[in-house]
Structure 1
């Protein structure tokens, strides 16, 4: 039966609970234990699938088709354990489940209340799969004191009470601000945060304190005294140049040992940190640098492309280079000459997105990469823009577009020539059944989501990238598809369809013939990349950019 670690946060948000949870999971793995990580989000959205990236960053998608918080991406990248639908829950989903049960009569006419009905639903979620792993790490989103988080805090209090003594511990992440005027590291915010936590019945076993540097012994003892934890359970979480330095940094600070001590596990297995020492070596000793232009519409917020950024870093690790992504608003390319904006970059990546804004700029980026021999990786919408660009400039479909943003011929276009080469997907095969969707359906959870197979063409560039594999499985998140009816016209003019769904109806991968490295994929390879196991598409893209940088 699993031991449970509940990770909470205080003082301010965005301190790095997800990163701390992921790093701790990696350290427990290094000691030979199996782990699973979960995220409990207090917001009332059922999931983040319909949120703007500006609101909540990217949406991470699991193999089984769940749209989840981006922290699950951290969990996968650090532990290599594929996340599942049952690893992410929100208040919205909890309340939906409770109300559906009430409507069905499952509560036998009882008055429905937060306690016990909502808290029981949360506890049932936490317990899913508890017999499968040695440690279950559960991160509570937000900060202690948030009104929407109270049912989750009450639920984990009850959960710990229900379990045998010593089976659950609480780890609290806080901030130790440094006041430059007085030259002091202030402990009072952490004291108040712990006081708030204790007022709702939770006492932290371990404090993880974010700070700019080490915690002086005097402040460590003060925190231990006023927060009622052992001095060696006050863990410094210093700012780091790379998030992938976190496992080694947390190990050196004693986090994994403090966790094992809190559970009374002695003697503790010795950790094997060779995987992370190799990653650190690649961080510290790159053999060059490549500049990648990421042309997107959410460039003001890097978290909107979190997995893209990390997958590029992983591709750099594989090639022993530092990747420097530079975020370029696609709308800029609609106003300026792409040659002036994109000249000097070793590679161009156009990520996924939704809506019409900035799409013409993405099309111009794809055209520049194709005509100038610059390595190009188009992901989801980035592949669709590459197809539209090729249709407009290589075939007679001069007014090619997408149903997503071109519902009729644009002004001045001949309606007889206007062709949506990208269309709204209304039907597809998932497993052994057919899924049907309408344009008027609810937006949440109605896309083609999760893992699907693709068959690769022999002798193609992408088959080489995947080491000759005839078939691959990748994660999807989209509701528009390239229309396979235009395959012959496009292939006759140099854009090959080199990956298809097993039934041959849905294009999954395109690549430009005769180009050094020009690949568009309908799926999201960034979601499966890891620092110790880079995704082959990002490894290959960065390798091509590295080669190109010698020519730039």
Structure 2
């Protein structure tokens, strides 16, 4: 029977519920169990697809094209599993489903209420991900903090799941904060006690408490939390700071986290196989080189806006034996006059995805500098589109070259919209989303990077495409196409063969990179930057 693990958070947000859930998933998978994870987000948006990256961080995209919370990226990177549309849902989507059911008469004229109709929809979603993936373990993270008004239906739903599936098949993990008073150096347990009291008032007794702290838990604090929160002393797990994100699972294992979960859920006590993870960590902690990468973007004020990109760079750095010195550079602060001064200390430049006209001229200045100075350049999504625009302006002489997104009246829309999308340019759900096949051009740099494969599948999130009317002019002047859609109509990659590395891809390779399986494009980019 499927076992359910629910991860809640208390005291404050940002304690690392997602990393805790992902780490636990990795450990249980290492024990030979089939693990799947999901996130329930209490906000009312339908999904994060139209939310500002400066508020929400990046939008992670699954293989089946679902726009999700960034924590799903952690789940995929740690557990090494491809998630799907059943792995993330919001209050907006829950209520949408309930209201559609009401309009269709599904409830037979009943008064529609939070209990049972909303909670039933939440439970249906929780059960669906396990059935879809035939999972032994479903790890469900509840977004927000215990006590939030918007989170109450989710807490009630998981309480009901425990009754329906059986208490012996459910485990509640509560992640809280243990602050230290600076003047006395005393670790305080009271915030955790209050948070657990709030959770218990809602009908849930946590089985395990994961205590976020900046130093080891002393015996007195552990005993106090054990007594007042009604958990065994060994179920108070220390979650302290680490140098590398991917050290977290083994840090948690110092408290026997996976063995305790195995015991509490009566799971097979298999010996875990951490060999791949251990090899990766040995590489990570023996890096003896440093490479400086400039990330030029529109949302650099919030690092989480480019979380998967920065993690993929870290993975590639580990593979190349290099620490990544990542410089966050605001595209709006770059111009042709100052570009060398701003980017001159970088060994490579990466431009990730984004939307809107703001900062585009700065991106174009950065790309021109890279192309003319032979600085390794890697463009992703918008980074490919701007590479094409820069080439059209400065090599083909089309001074007004642009994208329909930025200027629909230009005579040289090098980047244009798909015919079926016209009229839906600025609406949610109108993009090419999820995994699509890309046919690699033989002998191209892209083909070489992928080991000579004939085709690949990569995830997309965009509306606009390269305008095929410019293909011949690009090829004649040295900008070629490393990848196309199988029918040849959509450009998936551009590359400037004269430079050591000047590649743009329409897709998002960062979503498929793993710490122990780095994406080949990022590996090749970091290698080129090191050679520079």
Question: TM-score, with normalisation over the residues of structure 1?
Answer: 0.95
Partner residue of 2:498?
A: 514
- CA drift of 1:277 comes to 1.6
Distance of 1:437 and 1:147 partners within structure 2: 38
398-407 or 207-216: bigger deviation: 398-407
Greater than 6 Å deviation, 4+ residue runs: none
Contact residue 494 and residue 513 of structure 1 kept, 8 A: yes
Q: What does 1:209-358 align with in structure 2 at a 5 Å threshold?
A: 209-265=211-267, 268-334=269-335, 336-358=337-359
Partner residue of 2:530?
A: 546
- The partner residue of 2:438 within 454, 465, 468 is 454
**Structure 2: gaps (5+ residues):** none
312-321 or 396-405: bigger deviation: 396-405
2:166 match: secondary structure: coil
Contact residue 177 and residue 186 of structure 1 kept, 8 A: yes
Q: What does 1:23-422 align with in structure 2 at a 5 Å threshold?
A: 23-131=23-131, 132-265=134-267, 268-334=269-335, 336-409=337-410, 418-422=411-415
2:123 match: secondary structure: helix
Change (3 A) 1:242 1:217: same
- CA drift of 1:263 comes to 1.2
- CA drift of 1:438 comes to 3.0
Question: Is residue 2:524 matched to residue 1:531?
Answer: no
1:253 match: secondary structure: coil
Distance of 1:253 and 1:111 partners within structure 2: 48
Distance of 1:53 and 1:209 partners within structure 2: 29
2:517 match: secondary structure: coil
Q: What does 1:417-428 align with in structure 2 at a 5 Å threshold?
A: 418-426=411-419
Contact residue 67 and residue 445 of structure 1 kept, 8 A: no
2:356 match: secondary structure: coil
Distance of 1:264 and 1:405 partners within structure 2: 58
Contact residue 455 and residue 471 of structure 1 kept, 8 A: yes
2:173 match: secondary structure: strand
Contact residue 129 and residue 138 of structure 2 kept, 8 A: no
Equivalenced residue count is 530
Change (3 A) 1:67 1:129: closer
Q: Deviations over 1:4-37 (max 9, x none)?
A: 0000000000110000000000001111111000
- CA drift of 1:442 comes to 6.3
Distance of 1:130 and 1:521 partners within structure 2: 34
1:331 match: secondary structure: helix
- CA drift of 1:441 comes to 6.2
Partner residue of 1:415?
A: none
Question: Is residue 2:468 matched to residue 1:484?
Answer: yes
1:386 match: secondary structure: helix
Change (3 A) 1:335 1:485: closer
- CA drift of 1:168 comes to 0.5
- CA drift of 1:287 comes to 2.3
Over aligned residues, Cα RMSD in angstroms?
Answer: 1.1
Distance of 2:255 and 2:314 partners within structure 1: 25
**Structure 1: gaps (5+ residues):** 410-417, 427-435
Question: Is residue 2:9 matched to residue 1:16?
Answer: no
Question: Is residue 2:489 matched to residue 1:494?
Answer: no
